[in-house]
Amino acid sequence: MSTEIHDAFVNAILADASYVDGLSPGDEGTIVLGGKLALRLTQKLADYVGQNFTVVNQTTDAASGFSVTVFEDRSNGQKYVSFRGTDDPADAANDANVIAGTGLAQSQVFAMISRRGQVRNVFHERML
C-alpha cells in the first residue's frame, strides 16, 4: 500500500473510531481498545486500531456533540487528531444551522475553540 493511500486509510479509520464514546487515555490492544471500537467498526478494523494505536485523550462537549480524540501510533509516536461533529438527533439544531443558517455548527465551533488548549496540552505533555 502506498504511503498516501495508507495515511488516508488510517485517517479514515481513526475518524470513524472517534465516534465511539468512552475512550480513555491509555486504551490500546485488541481487548480494551479493540473491544470498545468493535461497537462501531468491523472486528478486523477494531483489532487493527487496538494493535497499532493508543488513545492519548478524548474530550467531548455534551451540549454540542463536538468531540476530539487524539490517537498515537505505537510504532513511531505520530499523533493523529480526529474530530467528531454531529451524530445524533440531539444535534438537530447544529445541523439546521449548517443547512439554513450560517453554514457552521456554531456551538461546535465554540466547543472546538474552547478545547483547543486541552489538545495542545496533550501534545505538549507527551513531548516533555
Q: Express each pLDDT in 72-98 by its tens digit.
A: 999 999 999 998 876 665 555 555 555
11 — phi, psi (to 5°)? Answer: -60, -40
Read off the pLDDT of residues 93-124 as tens digits, 9 standing for 90 and up. 555 555 555 555 555 555 555 555 655 565 55
Which residues 6+ apart lie within 8 Å of 120 measured at CB?
none
> Comparing C-alpha atoms, which of 92, 63, 69 is closest to residue 81?
69
- Quote the CA–CA distance of 45 and 88 in Å, as a whole number: 23
Max Cα distance, the chain (Å): 45
Q: What share of the chain is helix, strand, coil (3-state, %, to 5)?
A: 55, 15, 30
Residue 116, class by beta-carbon neighbours within 10 Å (0-12 exposed, 13-18 middle, 19+ buried)? exposed
The per-residue pLDDT for 28 is: 96
Query: The C-alpha cell of 83 is what?
Result: 474530530
The per-residue pLDDT for 96 is: 56
Cell 496533550, residue? 122
